[in-house]
Structure 1
Amino acid sequence: MPVENDQFDFSDRYGITPARGWVKYAAGFAIVGGAWLLWAGLHQANPALRYELISFSNEDPRNPEIRFLVQRADGTQEVQCTLVARDYEKNVVGQIDITIAAGKTYLEPRYIVPTRADAVNVGISRCRTLP
C-alpha cells in the first residue's frame, strides 16, 4: 500500500479552482473611483466664489456688525450675499441682501444688520454671483 504525505483535498480531486473573477471588477471600480475622486478634489479646490465669516460684533444687539471674506475668481462679476442675524433660540430677527460691485477679487467687507429684536449672532446665509 503506497503512503502519501500530502493532505487529501476535494478541490484537487474534483477540479475546483478558486474563484477570482471579482478582481477585475474591483480593479475597474478602483480606477474609475480614483479618477472621479481626483477630478472632484481638483474641481472643488478652486471654487469660482468663496465666502467665509471672519468675525461679528454684538456690542449693540439691535445692530450687530459682521465682517466676512469674499473671494471671487472673476472680478468683473457682482456678488450678492444674504446676511442673517439670529436670537438666542435661533430665530431669524434680521436679514439683509447686500450687493458687492465688480472690482477687486479679494474683499473683507463690514456691514451692520438691523434687527427687530436682540440678536445673539450674525452669519452669512449664502453668496452668489449675479448674471
Structure 2
Amino acid sequence: MPADDELHRFLAALSPAGRDKVQAQPRERQEQLANAWETELGEDTDLDMLDELSPGAAADEAAERVVRHFVDTALKAFGPHRLMFGSDWPVSTPEASYPEAVRITDRLTDALSPGEKDAVFRHTATRVYSLQ
C-alpha cells in the first residue's frame, strides 16, 4: 500500500471533481488507485498517458522523474564541476517558463553542496566561456 504522502500527491494531482470522486471511495480503494498511479508514473518514461491519469501536477512530477534520471546520471559521470545549467528557453516556453526551468533544475540539484550547485549554475559556464 502507498504511504500517506503518495496518496496525498495522487489526490493533489487530480482535478477537484476527480479528487471528490476518489475521496468518496473507501480508503483501501484510494490507496490502490494511488499505487497504480505511482507505478504508471515510474514506468511511463514517454509520458504518453499523463492526461488520462491527471492534469498538470502529474505531468510535472513525471517529467521531473524522467529529467532527474538524466541529471543524476550526468552528475555521476562528470561531477558538478563539469556540468552547467542550460535551457532551450525561449524555445522551451510551451513546456516550461524560464523561471520554472530554473526552479526545477534547482530542485534536482538539492543534494549538491552550495559550492557544487554554484558550479552547475555559474562557475562552470564562467570557466568554459572565459567570462571573467
Structure showing greater radius of gyration is 1
Looking at secondary structure, tell me which structure has more strand per residue.
1
Which structure's relative contact order is higher, taking Cα pairs within 8 Å and 6+ residues apart? 1
Normalising by structure 1, what TM-score? 0.28
Looking at secondary structure, tell me which structure has more helix per residue.
2
